[in-house]
């Protein structure tokens, strides 16, 4: 696999504010990558450097092997879908989609043909061609914006939170649409979003950013089950973080103590531990759906005693909150049809399997 | 009950004051239009008869025609220059940040709040002193400069409203589509700012076309329609002057309606 | 919207757009003002300007109460104009922003046209209307009222009428802008709190459109201290105001230094009054910002 986009140690400051503090990232041809993080994390800044609206202070950006330094946005083989869509309000749908071709001096018949293909690809109706953007619904405008970005056959499609302004239902439809589009055209997508759930649905790899730096780069499953730290783990869904103390670290794993956990051997294998963890305090992560209620007498790799304090039905599953004797709150999610339903006030034992846990250091 | 009565009362007050102010605003305008159709020589009532006599006189009066030509010439040149400079200043003032943004906005806008007569006098002094050094005297070109100084800020403010409501990401989008700086202006920025630029041009034309104070100070011996009328008031006038006034109103009302129509679409 | 990073003055985009304005207003506005200031230190002899660099003109200005009486009269008329304009503009602006929706554009066109039409014409129209043989008296006597009832042409009242006429549109537009920016729900909240309509507007609308009131007042005040046509044509030149005095100084007496000094005095005093009031009201830059 060849890298279509190669970013080497890119830094960018606005006055005294450092928006990107040395970012390196390599994206493969045909990949769908999501840049995720809270607002101000630098994800949109990074996208602007890739698109060429801004030049990084230092570092190198290469697209398809060519260094992009000094190449303006107009000359880069990239195409952007903007958060506010940025359709030209004074042009019809056909003029909007055909605009990149018109600028490349493509002849009229060819423009017409390619615009027609785009309309078909985006599943828009032919009669929309003569309408103006304001006469279309939000979802239709979105498709027009995508069509305009795709028409010039870019090597990289950059998406700057294009779905963030839509209502939940339409968002779901367009997420599926994006996924389909990515599969059918084979173009590399770089998708910026603050919604990790969206990134999980769409992306092959996710790049989590914070404060102008990359925290973690990995597959959706990595991000969910093997987060690099408590920030990433808390960024999607709910999770349980139990404080533990590591007394010994060896090449095969580590030995730990924890107030509330009854562990069979007190050991954790090395592949369940984030890289940097050393001796001392650390956090043990357990996703709510990986905890189960232990029937009396049954044992598990690890068990935690707790008292149920709250419960919420979530449709297919039921979520409980429980407190350990040490005062730690736990979230547990079990199927609604579970043979061991719990009630508020019940004292229970919650068990987990060793391979489901993950350990990382305490962040400052 | 009381609230309903209050509401009814407020409606009456509001529509009543609107009617009153419109009558107030249009009294002198209709007075002039009425007198322009007076058949007799004097501006007194009752009319001796209704006729278009003075409109005929107007088109035979070379001084009046000269004034008409001068007004038109000054207004057209002023409109083009003031609208161009004002549009650019509006983009700089609203969209750009640079050292001295506030000072720039103040400098660009302050002639709006400067009494025209005083502006005329200050400029007259300036041109007289410069004229003595560089050997020129006041005339049409100094009047045009004065008009531009005064009218550019108006044009800037009108375009600035349009710039303010303009989403700059469409320019980025155009650049991303492959447009050069020039193409961004040609296909996106100018077309989108056009309603604002067009109304600014109309206002600039009307402000210059009807301007009295600056022309009076700066045009030297050149007469425009407003200064021609002013001299007429002093001499003891005939219905020729109301007829000129009525002629001046016509392009005004047409252009204002047009500008308004454009801003709505 | 605006730049994230300040531009350098070497940026060609900025230069092309800002430089023409900067050049225009420095060479044809600031420089003339500075020169006007310098002229006040010269003298005028036999209708000729003499470069003498002394305080002779200023001594003259400060020793003649006549100039200051006229200035006081001018300020008074300007203040009266501001007050009347605000009072008559408020209902119109409020109506435009809230109740006249169906006719909003037509009303705006009518007001704009009346506003933008040249002042000379309109003042001339007023003179014809108010004249003792004019429209108003003709209309009144034709319905049986005694002749020459309207007899205030060539008084301060006529001047005031003309000034209010010329400038009230500024108040309508600035008030309209700030009233239409007020969040409707605030007024509804006031109703909800039990306020009647009048009370709600008194407590909510009025304080919130303070910037508009202020911007309109400053504009009208500054423009009316320079009023010239109204006192001359409608006031008959009987009680001259500063602008007329200044014009005479230039044209009739051909005394440039004195004219320049009087111009500066008028401007400085007006700006000082505006600043004083803005300090009193506690609205520092609202006027300029609006």
Report DSSP letters for B116-149, one per residue: HHHHHHHHHHHHHHHHHHHT---SHHHHHHHHHH
d(CA B62, CA A263): 110
Residues of A in contact with B176 (CB under 8 A): 51, 53, 73-74, 78-80, 149
Distance (Å, rounded) from C-alpha A197 to C-alpha B79?
56
* A304 SS3 class: strand
A299 and A165, same structural domain? no
CA-nearest of B45, B46, B54, B44 to B240 is: B54
Indicate which of B80, B118, B133, B172 best probes the interface with C, i.e. most C CBs within 10 Å of its own CB: B118
Range scoring the smallest mean pLDDT among A208-222, B17-31, B175-189, C124-138: C124-138
Q: Is A357 among the domain residues?
A: yes
Q: A286: domain range?
A: 238-361
Same structural domain, A192 and A263? no
Same domain for A84 and A146, yes or no, is yes
The pLDDT assigned to A1 comes to 52
Distance (Å) from the C-alpha of residue A80 to the closest C-alpha of chain B? 7
Residue C200, SS3 per DSSP: helix
- Chain A residue numbers touching C4 (CB-CB < 8 A): 14
> A177 with A258, same domain?
no
Domain end marker among A184, A204, A228: A228
Please give the angle made by the CA atoms of B88, B93 and B95, to the nearest 5 degrees: 90
Give the pLDDT confidence of A11-28 residue by residue, as tens digits: 999 888 888 999 999 999
CB C122 within 8 A of CB C134: no
pLDDT computed for residue C289 by the predictor? 42
- Looking at the structure, tell me whether residues A252 and A304 fall in a common domain: yes
**Chain C residue with the nearest C-alpha to that of B91:** C17
- A89 and A220 co-located in one domain: yes
Residue A15: its chain C contacts at CB < 8 A? 5
Cβ within 8 Å, pair B191-A90: yes
Within-domain flag for C22: no
Range of the domain at B123: 37-264
Tokens (6 digits) for B87: 């549009």
Kindly report the nearest CA distance between residue A135 and chain B, in angstroms. 14
**Does B134 lie at the interface with C, CB-CB under 8 angstroms?**
no
Q: Which residues contact C284 (CB under 8 A, 6 or more apart)?
A: C278
Report residue B103 CA to chain centroid gap. Answer: 26
The SS3 call for residue A303 is strand
Q: For residue C204, what is the domain's CATH number? A: 1.10.3720.10
Give which of B57, C167, C3 is closest to C11, Cα–Cα: C3
Is residue B71 one of the residues assigned to a domain? Answer: yes
CB-based contact A88 B174, cutoff 8 Å: yes
Cβ atoms of residues C205 and C181 within 8 Å? no
Mean pLDDT of chain B: 86
Specify the number of domains making up chain B: 1
Non-local (6+) Cβ contacts of C40 within 8 A are C57, C58, C257, C260, C261, C264
**Residues in a beta bridge with A282:** A244, A361
Residue whose pair of structure tokens reads 């969206």 in the numeric block: A198
Determine the 3-state secondary structure of A348 from DSSP: strand
Is residue A233 pLDDT above 90, yes or no? no
Question: Of the given ranges (A308-312, B43-47, B216-220), which has the lowest mean pLDDT?
Answer: B43-47
Strands A66-67 and A78-81: unpaired
The confidence band for C290, taking pLDDT boundaries of 50, 70 and 90, is: very low
Chain B contact set for A82 (CB, 8 A): 169, 172-173
Q: Does any domain span residue A158?
A: yes
Residue C46: inside a domain: no
Q: How confident is the model at residue B210 (pLDDT cuts 50, 70, 90)?
A: confident
Given pLDDT bands bounded at 50, 70 and 90, which one contains residue C288?
very low
CA nearest C24: which of B174, B107, A99, A62? B107
pLDDT for the residue B71: 92
Cα A105 to Cα A341: distance, rounded to the nearest angstrom = 69
A252, A356: one domain = yes
Residue A249 in this model has a pLDDT that exceeds 70: yes
Q: In terms of domains, do A285 and A207 share one?
A: no
Confidence of residue A311 (pLDDT cuts 50, 70, 90): confident
Partners of B173 on chain A (C-beta within 8 Å) are: 80, 82, 86-88, 148
With contacts defined as CB-CB under 8 Å, which chain A residues touch B174? 88, 99
Q: Is residue C74 pLDDT above 90, yes or no? A: yes
- Asked which of A194, A228, A262 is the last residue of a domain, the reply is A228
Give the pLDDT confidence of B149-204 residue by residue, as tens digits. Answer: 999 998 998 898 888 878 888 998 999 998 988 899 999 999 999 888 988 898 89
B263 pLDDT band, cuts 50/70/90, is: low
Question: Measured between beta carbons, which residues in chain A are less than 8 angstroms from residue C3?
Answer: none
**CB-count exposure of residue B204 (10 Å: 0-12, 13-18, 19+):** buried
Residues A172 and A243 reside in one and the same domain: no
Mean pLDDT check: name the lowest of A141-145, A209-213, C40-44. C40-44
Mean pLDDT of B203-228: 87
Subunit contact B28:C125, Cβ cutoff 8 A: yes
In-domain check, residue B219? yes
A14 contacts in C (CB within 8 Å)? 4-5
Residue B114 pLDDT greater than 80, yes or no: yes
* B256/C260 CB distance under 8 A: no
- Taken as a whole, chain B contains a residue count of 265
The answer to whether B92 faces chain C, any CB pair under 8 Å, is yes
Mean pLDDT (whole number) for C8-28: 90
- Looking at residues A173-193, what average pLDDT do you find? 91
CATH of the domain at A299: 2.40.50.140
Is B176 within 8 Å of A88 when comparing Cβ atoms?
no
- Going by pLDDT thresholds of 50, 70 and 90, the confidence category of residue B88 is very high
Give all strands (DSSP E) within C34-95, no chain letters: 43-45, 48-50
Residues of A with CB under 8 A from a CB of C: 14-15
B contact chains, 3+ CB pairs < 8 A: A, C
Q: Tokens 């939940």 — which residue?
A: A168
**The pair of three-digit structure tokens given for residue C104, joined into one six-digit string:** 């909003």
Judged by DSSP in three states, A76 sits in: coil
- Interface contact B111-C7, CB threshold 8 A: no
To the nearest whole number, what is the mean pLDDT of chain A?
Answer: 88
Distance (Å) from the alpha carbon of B61 to chain C's nearest alpha carbon: 19
> Do A75 and A11 share a structural domain?
yes
Count: domains in chain C:
1
A361 C-beta neighbours (distance < 10 Å), count: 19
Taking CA–CA distances from C3, the nearest residue in chain A reads A14
Q: Is A84 an interface residue toward B (CB < 8 Å)?
A: yes
Instruction: For residues A166-185, give the mean pLDDT.
Output: 88
Determine the residue of chain B that is closest to A81 in CA distance: B173
Is C30 within the bounds of a domain?
no
> For residue B226, which residues of chain C lie inside 8 Å, CB to CB?
118, 120-121
User: Would the pLDDT of B261 be above 80?
Assistant: no
B90-110, pLDDT tens digit by residue? 999 988 888 888 899 999 988
Q: How far B188 CA sits from the closest chain A CA (Å)?
A: 7
How far apart are the CA of B84 and the nearest CA of chain C, in angstroms?
9
Are B256 and C113 inside 8 Å of each other by CB? Answer: yes
Residue C125: domain span: 60-289
Helices B140-164 + B62-95 axis angle, to 10: 40
> In the prediction, which pLDDT does A126 show?
84
The pLDDT mean for chain C works out to 83
Q: Is C86 helix (H, G, I), strand (E, B) or coil?
A: helix
- In a shared domain, residues A260 and A355: yes
Binary contact (B11, C35; C-beta < 8 A): no
Query: What ipTM score was computed for the predicted complex, to two decimals?
Result: 0.83
Model confidence over C167-221: pLDDT tens digits? 998 899 888 888 887 777 777 777 777 777 677 777 777 778 888 888 889 889 9
Residues of chain A with pLDDT > 70, as a percent, come to 99
**CB-CB under 8 Å, B96 with C105:** no
pLDDT of residue B24: 92
Q: What does DSSP assign to residue A247? A: E
Alpha-carbon distance of A51 to A154, in angstroms, equals: 11
Chain A neighbours, 3+ Cβ pairs < 8 A: B, C
Which chain B residues are within 8 Å of A157, Cβ to Cβ?
none
Residues A35 and A118 grouped into a single domain: yes
Name all chains with 3 or more CB-CB pairs below 8 Å to chain C: A, B
Euclidean distance between CA atoms A219 and C115, whole angstroms = 67
Q: Does C18 sit within 8 Å of B88, measured CB to CB?
A: yes
Q: Could you give the CA distance from residue C264 to residue C225 in angstroms, rounded to a whole number?
A: 12
Tell me which residue in C112, C117, C219 faces B249 most closely, judged by beta carbons: C117
Give yes or no for A79 touching B (CB within 8 A). yes
Q: What is the 3-state secondary structure (H, E, C) of C213-236?
A: HHHHHHHHHHHHCCCCHHHHHHCC
Domains identified in chain A, total number = 2
Q: Determine contact: A103 vs chain B, CB below 8 A.
A: yes
Tell if the CB–CB gap between B149 and C24 is shorter than 8 Å: yes
* Band (A116; pLDDT cuts 50, 70, 90): very high
Select the more confidently predicted residue: A320 or B210.
A320
Any CB–CB contact under 8 A between B17 and chain C?
yes
Q: Is the pLDDT confidence value at A299 over 50?
A: yes
Strand-pairing partners, residue A360, are: A283
Across the interface, which of B44, B168, B226 has its CB nearest the CB of C1? B168
Question: Which residues 6+ apart lie within 8 Å of B66 measured at CB?
Answer: B223
Nearest CA to B158 out of B123, B189, B198 is that of B198
Which of 107-166 (A) contact B at CB < 8 A? 148-149, 152
Considering only residues B47 and A51, tell me which one the structure prediction assigns the higher pLDDT: A51
Tell me the sheet residues that pair with A25.
A7
State how far the Cα of C48 lies from the Cα of C29, in Å rounded to an integer.
Answer: 24
Which residue pairs from B68-75 have beta carbons closer than 8 angstroms and sit at least 24 positions apart in sequence?
B68/B225, B68/B247, B70/B140, B70/B219, B70/B222, B70/B223, B70/B224, B71/B209, B71/B224, B71/B225, B71/B226, B72/B209, B73/B140, B74/B140, B74/B143, B74/B144, B74/B147, B74/B208, B74/B215, B74/B224, B75/B147, B75/B205, B75/B208, B75/B209
Out of C14, C26, C197, closest to residue B92 by CB: C14
For testing the chain A interface, which of B97, B172, B177, B184 should be mutated: the one with the most A CBs within 10 Å?
B177
Examine residue A233 and state whether it is found in any structural domain, yes or no.
Answer: no
Kindly list the residues from chain B whose CB atom is less than 8 angstroms away from the CB atom of residue A73. Answer: 172, 175-176
pLDDT in tens, B3-36: 677 778 888 888 999 999 999 999 999 888 888 8
Residues of chain C whose beta carbon is less than 8 angstroms from a beta carbon of chain A are 4-5
Q: What is the per-residue pLDDT for B221?
A: 85
CATH code of residue B214:
1.10.3720.10
Q: Nearest C-alpha of chain A: how many angstroms from C9?
A: 17
């Amino acid at each position: 696999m060849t890298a279509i986009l190669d970013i080497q140690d890119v830094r960018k400051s606005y006055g005294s504010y450092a928006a990107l503090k040395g970012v390196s990232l390599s994206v493969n041809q045909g990949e769908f990558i999501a840049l995720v993080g809270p607002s101000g994390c630098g994800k949109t800044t990074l996208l602007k450097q890739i698109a060429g609206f801004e030049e990084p202070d230092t570092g190198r950006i290469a697209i398809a092997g060519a260094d992009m330094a000094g190449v303006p946005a107009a000359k880069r083989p990239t195409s952007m879908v903007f958060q506010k869509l940025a359709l030209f309000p004074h042009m019809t749908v056909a003029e909007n989609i055909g605009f990149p071709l018109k600028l490349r001096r493509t002849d009229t018949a060819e423009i017409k043909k390619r615009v027609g293909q785009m309309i078909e690809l985006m599943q828009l109706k032919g009669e929309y061609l003569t309408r103006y953007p304001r006469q279309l619904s939000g979802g239709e405008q979105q498709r027009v914006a995508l069509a305009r970005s795709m028409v010039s056959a870019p090597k990289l499609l950059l998406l700057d939170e294009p779905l963030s302004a839509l209502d939940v239902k339409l968002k779901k439809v367009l997420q599926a649409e994006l996924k389909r589009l990515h599969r059918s055209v084979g173009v590399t997508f770089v998708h910026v979003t603050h919604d990790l759930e969206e990134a999980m649905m769409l992306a092959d790899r996710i790049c989590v950013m914070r404060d102008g730096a990359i925290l973690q780069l990995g597959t959706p499953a990595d991000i969910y089950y093997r987060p690099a730290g408590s920030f990433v783990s808390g960024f999607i869904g709910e999770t349980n973080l139990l404080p533990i103390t590591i007394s010994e670290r060896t090449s095969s794993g580590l030995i730990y103590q924890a107030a509330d956990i009854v562990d069979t051997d007190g050991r954790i294998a090395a592949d369940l531990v984030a890289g940097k963890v050393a001796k001392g305090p650390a956090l043990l992560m357990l996703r709510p759906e990986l905890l189960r209620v232990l029937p009396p007498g049954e044992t598990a790799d690890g068990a935690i005693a707790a008292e149920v304090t709250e419960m919420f039905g979530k449709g297919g599953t039921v979520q409980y909150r429980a407190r350990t004797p040490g005062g730690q709150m736990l979230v547990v999610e079990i199927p609604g049809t579970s043979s061991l339903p719990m009630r508020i006030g019940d004292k229970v034992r919650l068990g987990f399997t060793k391979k489901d846990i993950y350990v990382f250091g305490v962040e400052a | 009950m009381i609230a309903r009565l209050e509401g009814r009362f407020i409606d009456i007050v509001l529509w009543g004051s609107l009617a009153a102010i419109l009558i107030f605003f249009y009294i002198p305008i209709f007075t002039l239009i009425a007198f322009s159709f007076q058949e007799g020589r004097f501006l007194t009532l009752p009319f001796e008869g209704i006729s278009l006599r003075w409109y005929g006189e107007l088109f035979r009066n070379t001084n009046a025609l000269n004034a008409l030509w001068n007004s038109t010439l000054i207004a057209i040149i002023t409109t083009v220059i003031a609208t161009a400079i004002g549009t650019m200043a509006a983009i700089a003032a609203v969209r750009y940040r640079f050292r001295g943004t506030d000072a720039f906005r103040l400098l660009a806008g302050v002639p709006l709040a400067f009494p025209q007569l005083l502006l005329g006098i200050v400029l007259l002094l300036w041109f007289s002193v410069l004229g003595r050094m560089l050997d020129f005297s006041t005339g049409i070109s100094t009047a045009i400069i004065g008009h531009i100084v005064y009218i550019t800020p108006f044009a800037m403010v009108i375009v600035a409203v349009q710039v303010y409501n303009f989403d700059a990401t469409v320019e980025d989008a155009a650049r991303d589509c492959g447009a050069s700086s020039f193409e961004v202006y040609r296909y996106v920025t100018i077309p989108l700012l056009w309603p604002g630029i067009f109304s600014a041009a109309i206002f600039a034309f009307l402000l210059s076309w009807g301007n009295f104070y600056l022309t009076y100070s700066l045009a030297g011996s050149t007469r425009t329609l407003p200064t021609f009328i002013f001299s007429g008031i002093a001499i003891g006038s005939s219905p020729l002057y109301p007829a000129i006034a009525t002629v001046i109103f016509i392009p005004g009302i047409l252009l204002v309606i047009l500008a308004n129509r454009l801003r709505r679409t | 919207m605006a730049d994230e990073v300040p531009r350098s003055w070497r940026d060609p985009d900025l230069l092309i757009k800002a430089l023409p304005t900067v050049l225009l207003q420095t060479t044809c506005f600031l420089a003339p003002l500075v020169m006007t200031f310098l002229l006040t230190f010269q003298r005028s002899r036999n209708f000729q300007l003499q470069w003498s660099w002394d305080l002779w003109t200023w001594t003259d200005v400060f020793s003649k109460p006549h100039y200051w009486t006229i200035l006081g009269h001018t300020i008074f008329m300007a203040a009266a104009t501001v007050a009347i304009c605000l009072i008559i503009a408020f209902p119109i602006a409020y109506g435009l922003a809230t109740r006249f929706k169906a006719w909003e554009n037509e009303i705006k066109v009518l007001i704009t046209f009346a506003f933008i039409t040249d002042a000379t014409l309109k003042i001339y129209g007023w003179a014809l209307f108010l004249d003792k043989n004019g429209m108003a008296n003709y209309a009144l006597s034709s319905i049986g009222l005694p002749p020459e009832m309207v007899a205030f042409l060539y008084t301060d009242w006529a001047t005031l009428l003309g000034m209010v006429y010329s400038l009230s549109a500024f108040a309508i537009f600035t008030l309209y802008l700030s009233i239409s920016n007020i969040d409707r729900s605030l007024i509804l909240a006031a109703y909800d709190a039990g306020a009647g309509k009048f009370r709600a507007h008194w407590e909510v609308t009025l304080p919130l459109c303070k910037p508009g009131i202020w911007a309109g007042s400053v504009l009208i005040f500054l423009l009316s201290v320079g009023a010239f046509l109204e006192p001359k044509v409608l006031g008959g030149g009987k009680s001259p105001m500063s602008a007329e005095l200044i014009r005479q100084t230039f044209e009739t007496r051909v005394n440039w230094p004195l004219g320049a000094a009087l111009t500066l005095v008028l401007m400085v005093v007006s700006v000082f009054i505006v600043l004083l009031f803005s300090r009193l009201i506690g609205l520092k830059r609202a006027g300029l910002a609006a």
